Amino acid sequence: MSEFDKNIGFLWPCDGLNDQEYWHFLPDNIGWLTARYDAGTQTETLTHHNLEQYASLETLRRAASIFKSVKLDAVACGDHAASFILGKKHEEFLIEKLQEFAECPVTFPSRSIVKLAQKYNLENILLISPYTKTITENCVNYLLEYEINTLSSLSLDANDEIRINTFSPIILLEKIVEFVQLSAQTPDAVVIAGGGLSFSSQIAKLEMLINLPVLTAVGALVKDAVELTGNRYNKNGLGRLFTMPVTSDLKNIRDRLSSGTKNFSLMETPPIFRDGVGSVLVDETGKSYLDFASGSGTTALGHGHKALLRSVREQLQTGIFHIGPHFNTSTQAALYSELSTILPAELCRFHPSISGSEATEIAIKSAMHFTGAKKFVGFTGGYHGRTLGALAVSGEKGKNISLGPFYPDTKIIEFPTNGDDLTASLSELVNEPLSGVIIEPIQATAGLKFVSKQSLQELREFANRKKIPLIFDETFTGFGRTGKIFAFEHYDIVPDMIIFGKALSVGFPAGLVVSNEEILTHWEKGTQSSTFQLNPVAAAASLFFVDQIKNGDILANINNNAIKFDTRLSEIKNLTGVVDVRGIGGIFVVEFASAEINKRVRQLALSEGLITWECGEFGECLGLVPPLNIDVLMVEKGCEIIVKTINEICL
């Protein structure tokens, strides 16, 4: 007996190489049984003769007999090019005879493509084929038999599956984008033939770049085969044609959500998203958006990252989703060990939380316990969260300013960006008992403002003299956002305490305070905890992210993309209404003359498919905060949209 609700038998020619491309997109309740078969050909070259052998009824029937001991609900034949050569009638003959033999529905990739094209009225297409020009022409003729017109085709001219398997998905993406851009006519969709191509990782990007639906042989076959079993296919990752349309009641959401949320602050009819892959989000209508906000800097690896999902799934499969504040899991223990390898040696103690705001509260309380004092030094423009303690130490209190007086008491001084002398401001505090100094080395929410190195050194010396903690808030800037693992690395100054959140767990709720032995062992056990503090699932995500930062090419990617941002955004620096353009690593900001200009630009950009982030002390800054692993093609696309929209508003 199979462990699955339904079983699909996959007849896969022995020259096929990437059946894992199919498995990834199967629903969890569907079993996919592969039978590789040999047609007795002397070579595996994609000649007409060899393909005819692979597509002979005798060969396929012999292969299907392997499944006789298993009850199948559908059979999917992986051979693709043979259908083009032998044509519609031969394929129909094979389907009929194999259905009789297997006693279940049968389909081929080519037939599956046709079904989807007919379902969505895709009458005119652009065709990408990995095969030789001759086989590609056969494909064009095959589709024409079903009244699907190929406006233009691109042959990659591979004569065997091994060559097909060598095509780089990224290079293939670039080839397809160029091909579509050069096309004289606009198609209904782009069809990518060839079940042997490994391209699923690029589909969402391609749809965003060309603003057209993409239909692949892999996607078509998986969807068709699953639906032949009686199941509905609705799994993301294969393109906008492959998920069921959903319609949510936007008015119902508006009427039920608190007016204090941000959901309707940009527009009255914001998109409602149904799935995401990489840097691309897709809304309920099927429209693609490039995500240059990353959940306010949180989804640092984008959406639907396969390896991240695998790490999270492994933790879920242990059965431990949550364990409370009294115990730890091996995943949490491993995370603390890994974090220790990327932090200064003296910052060796950790206190987990559920968010950056709560981490700020923990930093405040631990500093007060350590010093016995109840007053902090903060800075204009500083943003440390929206809980009451975090607001107290923030120079930027926004719409909550009326809630004062705040606790703990905080002396807010000017954020020193130009090597301003802090002596006068700090001299007023020499004789006051203080709990600590809290500062963002780079203020993100205030619109990307940089503290001067001289001033930060002065604060370090002040904290040393007062024997109080120097606290860096790296909730936004930590974990690669500025092109270094931590923003304080740009200044060669080590704080006594760091606040982390947002990207720490790449989309899962978590926060963390990191400090030294003296401070975080000063208070009594159990003084501060929270129920969901850095739970095991968030820890698994964070552990994966730390490994990617340490051992992957994320930092190099960030800094390479920064060059592209810098070059493209320089085009709008001198436009009317643009005050400044600045950036570092993976965050860039356009400052406008008013919040109103910024809002208009962001609204227009959203309508063009670009999600941006609002920042600045008065909402006057537009932030570009893409996933850290975004590739340069998507950076170029995002810059193209933002330059275009700013030109429209500011010229």
The predicted-structure confidence for 599-612, as pLDDT tens digits, reads as follows: 999 999 999 999 99
Binning pLDDT at 50, 70 and 90, where does residue 87 land? confident
**Within 13 Å, how many C-alpha atoms sit on residue 573's CB side?**
12
Q: 92-106, 538-552, 577-591: lowest mean pLDDT where?
A: 92-106
The string of DSSP letters for 595-647 reads HHHHHHHHHHHHHTTEE-EEESTTS-EEEE---TT--HHHHHHHHHHHHHHHH
For residue 39, pLDDT over 60 is answered with no
What is the pLDDT at residue 54?
64
What is the pLDDT at residue 199?
83
pTM: 0.90
Question: Residue type at 503?
Answer: A
Instruction: Name the token pair of 448.
Output: 């990307």
Q: What whole-number percentage of the chain has pLDDT above 70?
A: 94
For residue 84, pLDDT over 90 is answered with no
pLDDT tens, residue by residue, 502-515: 999 999 999 999 99
For residue 18, pLDDT over 70 is answered with no
Binning pLDDT at 50, 70 and 90, where does residue 119 land? very high
Closest CA to 177 of 644, 636, 618: 636
Peptide bond into 405 cis (omega under 30): yes
Binning pLDDT at 50, 70 and 90, where does residue 80 land? low
What is the pLDDT at residue 41?
53
Give dist(CA 240, CA 174) in Å, integer. 20
The phi, psi pair for 436, rounded to 5°, reads 165, 170
Q: 14-18, 593-597, 617-621: lowest mean pLDDT where?
A: 14-18
Q: Which of left, alpha, beta for 578 (phi over 0: left; psi -120 to 50: alpha)?
A: beta
For residue 196, pLDDT over 80 is answered with no
What is the pLDDT at residue 161?
65
For residue 98, pLDDT over 50 is answered with yes
Helix (H) or strand (E) holding 159: none
For residue 650, pLDDT over 80 is answered with yes
Q: Which domains does the chain have, with CATH numbers?
A: 6-106 (3.40.50.12500), 111-242 (3.40.50.12500), 250-304+554-650 (3.90.1150.10), 318-551 (3.40.640.10)
- The mean pLDDT value of the chain amounts to 90
Answer whether 613's CB lies under 8 Å from 293's CB. yes
Binning pLDDT at 50, 70 and 90, where does residue 57 land? confident
For residue 17, pLDDT over 70 is answered with no
Mean pLDDT of 104-115: 92
Angstrom CA distances, 301 to 294, 487, 557, stand at: 9, 18, 12
What is the pLDDT at residue 150?
96
Q: Rounded to a whole number, what is the distance in angstroms from the first to the last CA of the chain? A: 69
What is the pLDDT at residue 204?
92
Mean pLDDT of 564-589: 96
- Rounded to the nearest 5 degrees, what angle is found at the Cα of 619, between the Cα atoms of 614 and 621? 60
For residue 620, pLDDT over 90 is answered with yes
Give dist(CA 379, CA 651) in Å, integer. 36
pLDDT tens, residue by residue, 132-189: 898 899 899 999 999 999 999 999 987 666 677 778 888 899 999 999 999 999 999 9
Mean pLDDT of 217-226: 90
What is the pLDDT at residue 475?
98
- Rounded to the nearest 5 degrees, what angle is found at the Cα of 494, between the Cα atoms of 490 and 495? 115
Give dist(CA 469, CA 393) in Å, integer. 14
The string of DSSP letters for 509-530 reads --EEEEE-HHHHTTSPTTSS--
Closest CA to 33 of 110, 132, 102, 124: 102
What is the pLDDT at residue 1?
43
Between 255 and 115, the more confident residue is 115
Residues in the chain: 651
What is the pLDDT at residue 130?
87
For residue 430, pLDDT over 70 is answered with yes
Q: 9-23, 279-293, 332-346: lowest mean pLDDT where?
A: 9-23
What is the pLDDT at residue 36?
76
Non-local CB neighbours of 397 within 8 Å, separated by 6+ positions: 391, 403, 404, 406
Tell me the three state secondary structure of residue 160: strand
Q: 250-264, 271-285, 357-371, 572-586: lowest mean pLDDT where?
A: 250-264
Q: 230-234, 446-450, 546-550, 591-595: lowest mean pLDDT where?
A: 230-234
Instruction: Name the token pair of 56.
Output: 């002979």
pLDDT tens, residue by residue, 149-164: 999 999 998 766 667 7
